[in-house]
Amino acid sequence: MIEQIRNRLGHARRLVAALLLLGGAAQAAPPAQWQAVYAVRQGNIDGGEAVQSYQAVDGQYRLTLDVTPGGVVALFTQESFHDESSGKVDQHGWRPRRYVHLRQGGKKQRDYEFLFDWQAGQLRETQADTPPVALPPGTLDELTYVEALRRTLAAGGTGLKVPVLYGSDGKIREYTLQTLGEEEIATPAGTFHTVKVLRTQEGGKYTVTLWCAPQLDYFPVRIDREKRGRSQGTLLLKRYQGGGRSVPASTTADSSRQAGSGV
């Protein structure tokens, strides 16, 4: 029984590292800064929290994801991790410059840092002996493509294909994203009318489904990950603040409060 719980908790932790999606360009833009907190779930198991922060200033952005164990998960592991993407952003979209993944407290640690050399058209890992790989135009990473998805949906887009750095193996994979209709979704932050989006990837065995809420500038309020039809975990929105919007309403912060920690 304990081993089964550990396997399910491991799936929940891996979910967060690979859950976020998409890229594209459009005229509408999401907020210049925001912060969100998700509950991490594997079935009925509480897996902790995932906190995301974004800020864009003077054409530069910084996007972070921090995951800490909680609930039943904290009984078995204290592993936490930090992901960060930074680079340039303008009306055409995001151009990553650096992507970092750091883990703490786990038995198996695999930290990595990738640099996007747009001038040379190369992607390279700073701490590996592997040679650089070609960097296709418009390549995004596992964090920036959620922001690009919001921009695409706000402009009326219904789907696209985009190359994405798949951080766990350092490869660039083509993601295909397609809207599947509209749905009401209940979360700890409230119930939202959403646009449902399915993500598949070239050569991959995982699918990701996102429910994006127009009232939050198309921020995903729920994210599910599956492997060959079997659930690998769920993220459910607990709190969100950005673009003058804050949920749940009972915890609305002063509009002058700044989300994120700066570029």
Tell me the torsion sign for CA atoms 121, 97, 125, 160: negative
Q: What is the pLDDT of residue 107?
A: 66
**Quick count: other Cβ atoms within 10 Å of Cβ 7?**
10
| Angstrom distance (rounded) from CA 62 to CA 55 | 6
Q: What is the pLDDT of residue 108?
A: 65
Q: Are 80 and 67 in contact (CB under 8 A)?
A: yes
> Tokens for 214?
């127009």
| Angstrom distance (rounded) from CA 97 to CA 117 | 7
Q: Which is nearest to 143 in space by CA: 120, 185, 114?
A: 114
**Quick count: other Cβ atoms within 10 Å of Cβ 259?**
20
Q: What is the pLDDT of residue 167?
A: 72
Answer whether the bond into residue 248 is a cis peptide, omega within 30°: yes
Which of the pair, 212 or 225, is modelled with greater confidence?
A: 212
pTM value is 0.80
Half-sphere exposure of 263 (CA within 13 A, CB side): 17
Is it the case that residue 24 has pLDDT exceeding 60?
Answer: no
**pLDDT tier at 263, thresholds 50, 70, 90:** very low
Q: What is the pLDDT of residue 21?
A: 37
Mean pLDDT of the chain: 81
For the stretch 85-115, pLDDT in tens is 999 998 888 999 999 999 887 666 678 999 9
| Angstrom distance (rounded) from CA 3 to CA 38 | 26
What are the domain boundaries of the chain? 2-251
Q: Are 142 and 23 in contact (CB under 8 A)?
A: no
Q: Which is nearest to 82 in space by CA: 113, 57, 107, 60?
A: 113
Q: What is the pLDDT of residue 159?
A: 85
- Which residue type is seen at 262? G
